[in-house]
Amino acid sequence: MLTALYINVVWFLGGFINGVTSFGGNLFAVPLMTLAMDAKDAIVLGCIVGTAITVTIAFFYHRDLPKLEFSLAFVSGLAGIPIGMAVLRVAPVKVILLTCGVILALFLLWQAVSGRMRGVFRIPVWTIVPLGVISGILLSSTSMGGPVLVMYAVMRGWSKETTLSVLNTMAALSMVCLAVVQWRNGLYTPQILHYAVWAVPCTVVGVLASIPVIRRINPGIFRRLVLAMLAVSAAMLFVRAFQA
């Protein structure tokens, strides 16, 4: 009972964080899920619940979607999913945990320097193709495909609305496709589905709760709090990886 409550609270916060910052729901929740379940189960659950987060946000920001860049990102992301699935099947738990930790650490490092780089130069549109492939690989192997696309958004100078729309619409469609593949490969155990039945509504409530809050809270302060939580999650991943 306590485990189920813990999972629901974590995913509520994941949905809330994602709704305020345009990213970070899975980055926040999946590391904390590894405290309550096997790392691979946490990743699979993260794909299910993360789909609910992205679908909800994409619905609210669908009018801000840039069609060309979204199409390129989505197609290239799908191309990376089979590679990521192969990694998830063969990689040891320690490798998966370390990979997730490195992703978080690199993302935090990028956040520390990206503000200084804004406006210096803009990367071309075609770079979304290789970055989309990398995002698909990371999405299906670690459920953390967002940071790569966040970096692209920063270097393209996207508005917050455009970033919210592209990241979450792409993630929603990619994760629906991924869910079909995971289902066909028998990754959804009864226990994971049981947790998902409760965690999905909780994370949707978290997203909805973020909508009025984001209008009142100082985004700079909240963003720093989110990055601090991600730093703690990264540290936890490295500790559990060396204990595995």
Distance CA 227, CA 26 (A): 13
- Tell whether the model's pLDDT for residue 174 goes beyond 80: no
The ranges assigned to domains in the chain are: 2-243
Which of 37-46, 99-108, 140-149 is the most confident on average?
37-46
Confidence grade of residue 106 (pLDDT, cut at 50, 70, 90):
confident
Q: Are the C-beta atoms of 29 and 146 separated by less than 8 Å?
A: no
Looking from the CA of 235 toward its CB, the CA atoms found within 13 Å total 6
3 state SS of 14: helix
- Tens of pLDDT, residues 133-155: 988 887 777 767 777 887 788 77
Q: Hey, what's the torsion of the CAs at 39, 242, 102, 161, to 10 degrees?
A: 40
CA 177 to chain centre: 15
